[in-house]
Amino acid sequence: MPWNGCGLCRTFEFLQKPPEAGSLWLLLRPPRTMPDPFKLDLTHRPRRLRRTASLRALVEETVLRPQNFIAPLFVIEGKGSPEAITSMPGVFRLNIADLVKECRTLAKLGVPAVALFPSLPARLKNEEGTAALDEDALVLRAVRAIKKSVPQLTVMTDIALDPYTTHGHDGVLTPARDDVANDRTVSILVKMAVLHARVGVDLVAPSDMMDGRVGAIRRAMDAAGYVNTGIMAYSAKFASAYYGPFREAVGSASAAGTSLLSKKTYQLNPANRREALIEAALDEQEGADIIMVKPAGPYLDIIREVRNATRKPVAAYQVSGEYAQIHAAAKAGWLDLAKCRHESLLAIKRAGADMILTYFAREMAQELG
Ligand code: PBG
């Protein structure tokens, strides 16, 4: 214990104490280099790989290619000129001759597939959608024409009654007209699918969301000998407000909410993720070759979940409303059309879609060269 009176001891004690601000020690001690607050000691600098365009290209994880796209096309009767669809700039209803031309262009650009949607005159529609089973239906003639001129193109057709019913629903109604009759609708869709398989479609695409239709269609096509006709199942199809412009295009808008029922009794509730996975699993068990999620952009989480849950190819449908949204904002000068088009599709692919149905298919293939 040092003696307090001793000067030496007091100096010794002072030197042992941690320096206080303003103390003599701070003035006397050897200068230490101060840390530079702007120079961090970082081992990991992810930005190293973002410095140049070539580095960014090297580490790019998702790449869009023309062969990722499926072009939805609208077909009409007659020989008239292309009909514009107000809410879908750049998209037209085409007569069969123009449709074939468009298919040739798409094939040249490297787009491997088209999805056909007929738009029927009102006089051919009725309560039961019987024109769907017409052996010479518009869409069947369109398929034959495409297969004849552009045989290398994959052709898929929608299996649902909405272009054919006066009420615009995807199936026939119950006697009380307060819901779509599931099983009776399935029996019609099965016949429709076999008709489509007979003219040589590569994939039938049931978009109706009836229960059990994938299995029923698979069995019927097999029994009829069309074992190689595939099924792209609209498995997770949500009751979405983003289908508005499409309903203008095929003239099925009447059921969109104005009439007795909306499509909520058969399409998925946008709030439900688990239920979407149940639908995807059922369709896979029933024999779907490709599982689809629709819409795409607002449902990226569902695309990812389905991607993780199945080993089948996953398709996503960037629907009419997603297309219209980008176009409307671009027209107002608020968004860059080409950049948003690219980014929206890149996001869908990154989420896990192997293929994307999009009205941007032709432009994207042109852009990607
Ligand atoms: C109906 C069908 C719809 C779409 C494809 N098939 C609309 C609906 O369910 O009412 C929508 C496609 C789009 O919005 O681009 N069978």
User: What is the structure's pLDDT at 39?
Assistant: 85
Q: For 151-184, write each residue's pLDDT tens digit.
A: 999 999 999 999 999 999 999 999 999 899 999 9
Residue 208 CA to ligand 1 center (angstroms) comes to 9
Residue 247 CA to ligand 1 center (angstroms) comes to 7
**C-alpha angle 299-218-273 in degrees, rounded to nearest 5:** 20
**Ligand 1 pocket mutation pick from 292, 319, 348 by most atoms within 8 angstroms of CB:** 319
User: What is the structure's pLDDT at 13?
Assistant: 62
Q: For 293-316, write each residue's pLDDT tens digit.
A: 999 999 999 999 999 999 999 999
Q: Containing H/E element for 14? A: helix 7-16
Residue whose CA lies nearest to ligand 1 atom number 5: 207
pLDDT(46) > 70: yes
pLDDT > 90: what percent of the chain? 83
pLDDT > 70: what percent of the chain? 89
pLDDT(28) > 90: no
* Rounded Cα distance, 197 and 140, in Å: 10
**pLDDT-based confidence at 1, cuts 50/70/90?**
very low
Residues with Cβ within 6 A of ligand 1? 158, 160, 162, 170, 207, 243, 246-247, 252, 263, 319-320
More confident residue, 250 or 156: 156
Residue whose CA lies nearest to ligand 1 atom number 2: 207
**Ligand 1 pocket mutation pick from 69, 180, 246 by most atoms within 8 angstroms of CB:** 246
User: Is 237 in the active site?
Assistant: yes
- Mean pLDDT of all residues in the chain? 92
pLDDT(259) > 90: no
Q: For 86-133, write each residue's pLDDT tens digit.
A: 999 999 999 999 999 999 999 999 999 999 999 999 999 999 999 999
Query: Per residue in 204-229, is it b (16+ CB within 10 Å) or e — as a string?
Result: bbbbbbbeebbbbbbebbeeeebeeb
As given in the structure block, the two tokens for residue 84 are 């514009």
More confident residue, 9 or 200: 200
* Rounded Cα distance, 300 and 355, in Å: 14
Ligand 1 atom having least distance to the Cα of 168: 10
Residue tagged active-site, from 147, 237, 263, 312: 237
User: What is the structure's pLDDT at 265?
Assistant: 94
**pLDDT-based confidence at 260, cuts 50/70/90?**
very low
As given in the structure block, the two tokens for residue 130 are 């019987």
**Ligand 1 pocket mutation pick from 161, 170, 210, 360 by most atoms within 8 angstroms of CB:** 170
How far out from the chain centre does Cα 65 lie? 15
Residue 46 CA to ligand 1 center (angstroms) comes to 42
User: What is the structure's pLDDT at 250?
Assistant: 82
User: Is 331 in the active site?
Assistant: no
**pLDDT-based confidence at 5, cuts 50/70/90?**
low
Residue 120 CA to ligand 1 center (angstroms) comes to 15
- The pLDDT of 177-201, averaged and rounded, is 97
Residue with tokens 């007659």: 78
Residue 223 CA to ligand 1 center (angstroms) comes to 29
Residue 158 CA to ligand 1 center (angstroms) comes to 9
pLDDT(2) > 50: no
User: What is the structure's pLDDT at 20?
Assistant: 62
3-class SS of residue 203: strand
Question: Residue 180: beta bridge partners?
Answer: 173
Under 8 Å CB-to-CB from 82, ≥6 apart: which residues?
92, 93, 94, 95, 98
Question: Nearest to residue 355, comparing CAs of 105, 102, 60, 65?
Answer: 65
User: What is the structure's pLDDT at 12?
Assistant: 56
User: What is the structure's pLDDT at 206?
Assistant: 98
Domains of the chain: 62-368 (3.20.20.70)
User: What is the structure's pLDDT at 32?
Assistant: 64
Neighbours of 247 (CB within 10 A): 18
3-class SS of residue 21: coil
User: What is the structure's pLDDT at 256?
Assistant: 53
Residue tagged active-site, from 125, 294, 312, 349: 294
